[in-house]
């Protein structure tokens, strides 16, 4: 083979993927031809340094650790119908027996949302769509979620500014995520289907339909409500009243 022909095989040769015969022929040529030897060696180094630059990073490492933990802890098991029953039984056991601590340790919707809010802020997440228009956010979610997303129209008038939206997951449940700002402090809003509530332990803690429930965790507040249109959960380091206004708009205002 000529030098040109030999060089055509550089890729599979370096990957040790050639048949023994061709492999031998190339090895022999390389032994005799310094020019080709140099090219093959440079290609090997180029490929190796490219591979070495394609590493993981701390953010991915953290994502991996979280995913492994969630999967191994068994917290993300479907199907949901069966899971609702399990959640109910577990909740019952939690109230009457020594299982309480174990169940309380499980993430419920509120903690899950709170953790997501904090994680997303810490990672400086980018939004799938950046827009202050409720219509644009609604349009983004069409066909991406199993339920329709309706965004209130007049929050902006109350100083609650829509920043953008993205698709996200709380414990494997697909949810709509909307980011608002009040006095440039971020508020995360999560919307999910009522059917998916069974995925969360302590779903009963959400309270009766149409009655907003508030929680405080240090500086962070969480307000949730479930209505005929689904479940809304707002999280932020803002006065509780602002969160309540947002969930009420989502739950009760129809456009």
- The contact set with other proteins (CB under 8 A) reads 11-12, 15, 17, 39, 42-43, 45-47, 49-57, 59-61, 63-64, 66-68, 70-72, 76, 125-126, 128, 144, 166-167, 169, 172
Q: Which does 45 bind (CB under 5 to 8 A by kind): other proteins, Zn ion, none?
A: other proteins
The CA-atom distances, in angstroms, between 217 and each of 4, 8, 221 are: 69, 63, 6
User: What is the chain's alpha carbon radius of gyration, rounded to the nearest angstrom?
Assistant: 27
Residues that bind Zn ion (CB under 5 A): 3, 33, 36
230 Cβ contact partners less than 8 Å away, ≥ 6 residues apart = 147, 191, 192, 193, 194
Q: At what angle do helices 20-32 and 34-53 cross, to 10 degrees?
A: 110
**Residue whose CB is less far from other proteins, 5 or 210:** 5
Q: Which does 55 bind (CB under 5 to 8 A by kind): Zn ion, other proteins, none?
A: other proteins
CB of 85 to other proteins, least distance (A): 20
**CB neighbour burial string for 113-146, b if at least 16 within 10 angstroms, e if fewer:** bbebbeebeeeebebebeeeebeebbebbeeebe
CB of 6 to other proteins, least distance (A): 15
**Residue whose CB is less far from Zn ion, 30 or 178:** 30
CB of 226 to other proteins, least distance (A): 25
Q: Which does 172 bind (CB under 5 to 8 A by kind): Zn ion, other proteins, none?
A: other proteins
**Residue whose CB is less far from other proteins, 39 or 84:** 39
CB of 29 to Zn ion, least distance (A): 6
Secondary structure (DSSP) of 66-115:
HHHHHHHTTTT---HHHHHHHHHHHHHHHHHSTTHHHHHHS-BHHHHHHH
To 10 degrees, the CA torsion angle through 134, 249, 226, 215?
Answer: 110
Cα–Cα distance, 167 to 125 (Å, whole number): 12
**Residue whose CB is less far from other proteins, 171 or 229:** 171
Cα–Cα distance, 237 to 220 (Å, whole number): 4
Q: Which does 153 bind (CB under 5 to 8 A by kind): other proteins, Zn ion, none?
A: none
Cβ atoms of residues 148 and 121 within 8 Å: no
CB of 62 to other proteins, least distance (A): 8
Q: Which does 33 bind (CB under 5 to 8 A by kind): other proteins, Zn ion, none?
A: Zn ion
CB of 173 to Zn ion, least distance (A): 60
Q: Which does 126 bind (CB under 5 to 8 A by kind): other proteins, Zn ion, none?
A: other proteins
């Amino acid at each position: 083979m000529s030098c040109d022909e030999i060089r055509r095989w550089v890729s599979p040769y370096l990957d040790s993927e050639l048949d023994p015969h061709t492999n031998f022929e190339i090895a022999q040529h390389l032994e005799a031809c310094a020019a080709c030897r140099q090219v093959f060696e440079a290609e090997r180094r180029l490929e190796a340094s490219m591979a070495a630059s394609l590493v993981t990073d701390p953010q991915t490492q953290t994502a991996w650790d979280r995913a492994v933990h969630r999967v191994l802890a068994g917290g993300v098991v479907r199907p949901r119908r069966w899971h609702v029953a399990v959640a109910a039984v577990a909740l019952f056991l939690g109230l009457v027996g020594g299982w309480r601590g174990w169940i309380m340790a499980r993430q419920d919707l509120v903690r899950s949302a709170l953790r997501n809010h904090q994680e997303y802020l810490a990672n400086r997440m980018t939004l799938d769509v950046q827009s202050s228009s409720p219509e644009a956010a609604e349009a983004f979610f069409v066909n991406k979620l199993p339920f329709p997303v309706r965004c209130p129209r007049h929050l902006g008038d109350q100083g609650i500014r829509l920043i953008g939206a993205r698709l996200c997951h709380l414990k494997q449940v697909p949810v709509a995520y909307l980011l608002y700002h009040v006095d440039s402090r971020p508020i995360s809003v999560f919307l999910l289907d009522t059917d998916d509530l069974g995925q969360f332990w302590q779903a009963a803690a959400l309270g009766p339909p149409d009655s907003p429930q508030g929680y405080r965790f240090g500086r962070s507040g969480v307000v949730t409500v479930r209505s005929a249109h689904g479940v809304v959960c707002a999280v932020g380091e803002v006065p509780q009243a602002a969160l309540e206004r947002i969930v009420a708009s989502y739950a009760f205002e129809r456009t």
